[in-house]
């Protein structure tokens, strides 16, 4: 019996709740313009808004945070793109600058080839063999192109670069003027002072055994002396090839000789396009020997 009584009471309670809600709805409809009803409607609306505003605020906050994260991610992506573009442009600029230098060097060598009285072969540097005691480059011209051991190698502006020391069919080795084993008789162009010039690797060239009575001005140009005793006895290097400029002079009061440091005019260790003189017969066949 108790369960039936409880069910009856629950049913009656639900019926009363329904009747109350129905009565409130009827009052709100019939008395829509009455002041008490208007006040009640406003109160209910205020309660509803109070309940919904915190939820809406949380939603707006979450939406704002999501938008912020999205903007930050987009900014990071934009920065990464900009950095990649910068690196690409820098690499392209470096490549263009390198090509411009190579073209300028090639043009200078071609101009020299057109103006020199010697027969020459244009070559490119394939490899470099540099150490403290060695400054040698490999060029792409060999016996097939007419290049032979002992041939003199020059660069832009008619500057002395070195001398061929070994030859294969399609390549050759050139000992540069900076090699410690390289030597050549040279003179100060403006005064005629003569000495023996040696390479010193990465250091400046050195002009030694210059008579103390000769003037060796700082800044003066030094060239190959090209001493020629007869048509068959002459220097292994043509006369007047530019080598470098005097940057320092050392002379002791008690010495009858003086020494000068020489800065090469052409950076022979980075030059890429060269000329090999193939029709000059020097008097001494040994590449490392001075005339």
Residue 116 has pLDDT above 70, yes or no: yes
pLDDT of 49: 55
Residue 195 has pLDDT above 50, yes or no: yes
At 45 the pLDDT is 58
Domain 120-277 in CATH 3.40.50.620? The answer is: no
pLDDT of residue 285 exceeding 50, the answer is no
**Tokens representing residue 97 in the block:** 């600058």
- pTM, to two decimals: 0.64
Cα 160 to its chain centre, rounded Å, is 28
Non-local (6+) Cβ contacts of 211 within 8 A are 193, 194, 256, 257, 258
**Helix (H), strand (E) at residue 68:** helix 35-115
Distances (CA, A) of 178 to 79, 200, 266, 286: 47, 6, 11, 17
pLDDT at 269: 85
DSSP string, 223-247: EE---BSSSSSB-SS-TT-EEEEEE
Our measurement of the distance from residue 205's CA atom to the centroid of its chain's CA atoms, rounded to an integer in Å, reads 28
Query: Lowest-pLDDT range, 58-67, 104-113, 196-205?
Result: 58-67
> Is 176:268 a contact under the CB 8 Å cutoff?
yes
Picking from 182, 178, 224, the residue whose alpha carbon sits closest to that of residue 200 is 178
Residue 162 near residue 182, CB atoms below 8 Å? yes
Separation between Cα atoms, residue 151 and residue 9, nearest integer Å = 125
Residue 231 has pLDDT above 50, yes or no: yes
pLDDT at 46 over 80: no
Tokens of 1: 């019996």
Is residue 286's pLDDT more than 50? no
User: Could you read off the pLDDT of 235-262 as tens digits, one per residue?
Assistant: 889 999 999 999 999 987 678 899 999 9
Mean pLDDT (the chain) is 79
For the chain, the structural domain boundaries read 31-115, 120-277
Asked if 149 contacts 175 with a C-beta cutoff of 8 angstroms, the reply is no
| Residue 17, pLDDT above cutoff 80 | no
Instruction: Give one DSSP letter per residue of 178-195, joined into a string.
Output: TSTT-EEEEEETTT--EE
Q: Are 261 and 246 in contact (CB under 8 A)?
A: yes
pLDDT mean over 106-111: 76
Cβ–Cβ < 8 Å for 168, 142: yes
């Amino acid at each position: 019996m108790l369960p039936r009584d409880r069910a009856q009471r629950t049913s009656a309670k639900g019926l009363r709740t329904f009747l109350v809600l129905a009565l409130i709805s009827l009052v709100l409809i019939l008395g829509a313009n009455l002041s008490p009803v208007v006040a009640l409607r406003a109160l209910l609306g205020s309660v509803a808004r109070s309940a919904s505003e915190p939820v809406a605020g949380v939603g707006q906050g979450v939406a704002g945070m999501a938008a912020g994260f999205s903007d930050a991610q987009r900014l990071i992506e934009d920065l990464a793109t900009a950095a990649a573009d910068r690196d690409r442009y820098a690499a392209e600029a470096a490549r263009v600058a390198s090509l411009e230098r190579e073209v300028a060097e090639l043009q200078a060598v071609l101009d020299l080839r057109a103006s020199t009285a010697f027969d020459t072969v244009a070559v490119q540097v394939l490899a470099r063999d540099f150490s403290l005691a060695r400054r040698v480059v490999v060029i792409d011209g060999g016996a097939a192109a007419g290049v032979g051991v002992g041939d003199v190698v020059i660069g832009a502006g008619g500057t002395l670069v070195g001398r061929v020391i070994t030859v294969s069919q399609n390549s050759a080795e050139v000992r540069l003027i900076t090699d410690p084993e390289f030597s050549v008789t040279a003179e100060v162009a403006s005064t005629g002072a003569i000495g023996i010039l040696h390479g010193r690797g990465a250091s400046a060239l050195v002009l030694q055994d210059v008579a103390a009575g000769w003037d060796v001005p700082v800044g003066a140009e030094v060239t190959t002396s090209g001493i020629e005793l007869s048509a068959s006895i002459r220097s292994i290097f043509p006369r007047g090839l530019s080598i470098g400029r005097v940057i320092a002079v050392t002379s002791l009061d008690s010495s009858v000789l003086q020494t000068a440091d020489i800065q090469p005019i052409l950076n022979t260790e980075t030059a890429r396009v060269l000329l090999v003189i193939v029709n000059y017969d020097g008097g001494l066949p040994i590449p490392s020997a001075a005339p």
